[in-house]
């Protein structure tokens, strides 16, 4: 490999070795995603903001910073995806990590309910934008390095995001417990840690050269190592019904899983009788399933097909959500919640490869970056429905049954969505 021109993938990058280096890029992507994936530990902060004397927020107000964060992800991923296709992955990932950490550090400056607007601005608007800006980068980049393992590698690319709350949840709870009257003070050390991890991970990012090929890999088109099927631009993808079907599947699956994630800690204490500390630990453990689901379901989708995988993901989420409010036993609650987290993670592990199958990977940053509006919509719809229906009366049965039925109905979409004619292999 002698060429260093990455004209195929949107910019010129330095020549790099093609063997073990691509796995080093996976490690860098996991580190970046781990730092921004800490957002899934929000339920630890939400519970603290409800109980701290200086805050005493309602359930809806306590969940709002998280909701705004998820809502802003689409804006960041859209801008970051388009910029990545033009400027390459390293610059975009570095900028995203800095913006995300800056928002967290700004949130650390809040001191009580009077600073609620600053919490929304820092944690919600700024960090959410930075999160989306960085999130899309390793997904688009690694699909270009791993045409032979598209499903598995996109699962790994976002696996670190799901695992982000595994360590963050207990650490955040420990930091909050040190000064329960000032729960947002925990954002200062966490923001510094996020900044370091994201910068280290993103520093090695780059696209493969134009002549890059994986030895022995034959494309789905049957034409050798290079896939000759049509690569859709963002505008062309938006003119197909398939883009909207995939975005709808993403939106509904996210809505289902995130409705529990946004209420996980309080649901565990109210439904199954967990202690506050036990619930925080459970949130961290459940994050393992969020991360693992991204890898497991993505690998499964390589074998059984993308739409069959999404049918299973939506169906299992729906069933488990309906059963969850009746799970007064701690073990049963944990099992049902783990399946929901596993399926929620699988949505993000499987959808990038699905979009690549439907539209190609040349413009994956822009196409999938825009598709993440489904994440933002789902991230708003799910928590709002959950918190509004649960309310002060703690009507968990009404809330989770409603959302579970919606997830089950969404399975129908998986029987309709098929790749465009010029991307089909049979």
Q: How confident is the model at residue 353 (pLDDT cuts 50, 70, 90)?
A: confident
Exposure of 211 by Cβ count < 10 A (0-12 exposed, 13-18 middle, 19+ buried)? Answer: middle
CA distance 411 to 414: 6
Q: Is the pLDDT at 5 greater than 60, yes or no?
A: no
List the one residue out of 79, 157, 92 whose CA is nearest residue 366: 79
> Residue 216 — pLDDT band, cuts 50, 70, 90?
low
Average pLDDT over residues 270-280: 88
Average pLDDT over residues 160-184: 85
Spell out the domain ranges in the chain.
Answer: 19-210+232-423
The predicted pLDDT at position 228 comes to: 63
What percent of the chain is predicted at pLDDT more than 70?
Answer: 90
Number of H helices, E strands in the chain: 17, 0
Res 299 pLDDT > 90? no
CATH superfamily entry for domain 19-210+232-423 = MFS general substrate transporter like domains (1.20.1250.20)
pLDDT in tens, 44-81: 898 889 888 989 888 778 888 988 898 888 888 888 88
Instruction: With a cut of 50, say whether residue 247 has pLDDT above it.
Output: yes
Which letter does DSSP use for residue 416 in this model?
Answer: T
d(CA 344, CA 348): 7
- How many degrees, rounded to 5, is the angle at CA 160 between CA 226 and CA 130? 90
Chain Cα centroid distance, residue 193: 20
Q: What is the DSSP string of 293-318?
A: HHHHHHHHHHHH-HHHHHHHHHHHHH
Q: Which has more pLDDT, 296 or 375?
A: 296
Q: Which residue has the higher pLDDT, 2 or 281?
A: 281
397: pLDDT strictly greater than 90 = yes
Give phi and psi for 39, each to the nearest 5: -55, -25
Convert the pLDDT of each residue in 142-167 to its tens digit. 878 887 777 777 787 777 787 777 77
Of 216, 224, 249, 253, the residue nearest 355 (C-alpha)? 249
Nearest to residue 105, comparing CAs of 93, 129, 121? 121
334 within 8 A of 288, measured Cβ to Cβ = no
Rounded Cα–Cα distance for residues 172 and 350 (Å): 29
222: confidence class by pLDDT, cuts 50, 70, 90: very low
Whether the pLDDT of residue 221 is over 50: the answer is no
Pair of tokens at residue 117: 């607007």
Write down the pTM of the prediction.
0.75
Q: Which residues of 267-304 are buried (b: 16+ CB within 10 A; e: fewer)?
A: bbbebbebebeebbbbbbbbbbbbbbbbbbbbbbbbee
Q: Scanning the structure block, which residue is given the tokens 């309906």?
A: 322
């Amino acid at each position: 490999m002698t060429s260093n021109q990455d004209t195929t993938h949107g910019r010129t990058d330095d020549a790099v070795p093609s063997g073990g280096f691509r796995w080093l890029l996976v490690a860098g992507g996991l580190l970046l995603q781990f730092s921004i994936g800490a957002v899934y530990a929000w339920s630890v902060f939400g519970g603290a903001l409800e109980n701290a004397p200086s805050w005493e927020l309602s359930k809806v107000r306590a969940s709002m910073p998280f909701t705004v964060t998820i809502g802003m992800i689409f804006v960041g991923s859209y801008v970051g995806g388009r910029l990545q296709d033009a400027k390459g992955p390293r610059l975009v990932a570095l900028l995203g990590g800095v913006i995300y950490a800056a928002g967290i550090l700004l949130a650390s400056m809040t001191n009580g309910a009077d600073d609620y607007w600053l919490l929304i601005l820092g944690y919600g608007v700024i960090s959410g934008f930075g999160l989306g800006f960085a999130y899309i980068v390793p997904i688009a980049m690694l699909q270009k390095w791993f045409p032979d393992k598209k499903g598995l590698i996109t699962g790994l690319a976002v696996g670190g995001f799901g695992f982000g709350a595994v360590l963050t949840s207990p650490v955040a709870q420990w930091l909050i417990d040190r000064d329960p009257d000032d729960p947002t003070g925990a954002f200062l050390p966490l923001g510094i840690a996020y900044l370091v991890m994201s910068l280290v991970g993103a520093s090695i990012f780059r696209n493969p050269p134009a002549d890059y090929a994986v030895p022995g890999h034959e494309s789905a088109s049957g034409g050798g190592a290079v896939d000759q099927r049509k690569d859709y631009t963002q505008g062309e993808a938006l003119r197909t019904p398939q883009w909207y079907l995939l975005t709808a599947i993403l939106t509904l699956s996210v809505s289902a899983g995130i409705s529990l994630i946004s209420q996980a800690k309080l649901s565990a204490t109210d439904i199954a009788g967990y202690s506050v500390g036990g619930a925080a630990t459970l949130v961290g453990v459940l994050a393992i399933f969020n991360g693992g689901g991204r890898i497991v379901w993505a690998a499964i989708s390589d074998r059984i097909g993308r739409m069959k995988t999404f049918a299973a993901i939506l169906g299992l989420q729906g069933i488990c959500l309906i059963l969850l409010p009746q799970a007064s036993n701690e073990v049963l609650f944990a099992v049902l919640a783990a399946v929901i987290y596993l399926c929620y993670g699988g949505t993000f592990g499987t959808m990038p490869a699905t979009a690549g199958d439907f539209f190609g990977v040349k413009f994956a940053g822009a196409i999938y970056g825009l598709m993440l509006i489904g994440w933002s919509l789902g991230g708003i719809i799910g928590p709002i429905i959950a918190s509004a229906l649960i309310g002060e009366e703690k009507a968990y049965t009404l809330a989770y049954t409603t959302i579970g039925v919606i997830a089950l109905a969404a399975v129908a979409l998986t029987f309709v969505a098929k790749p465009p004619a010029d991307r089909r292999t049979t």
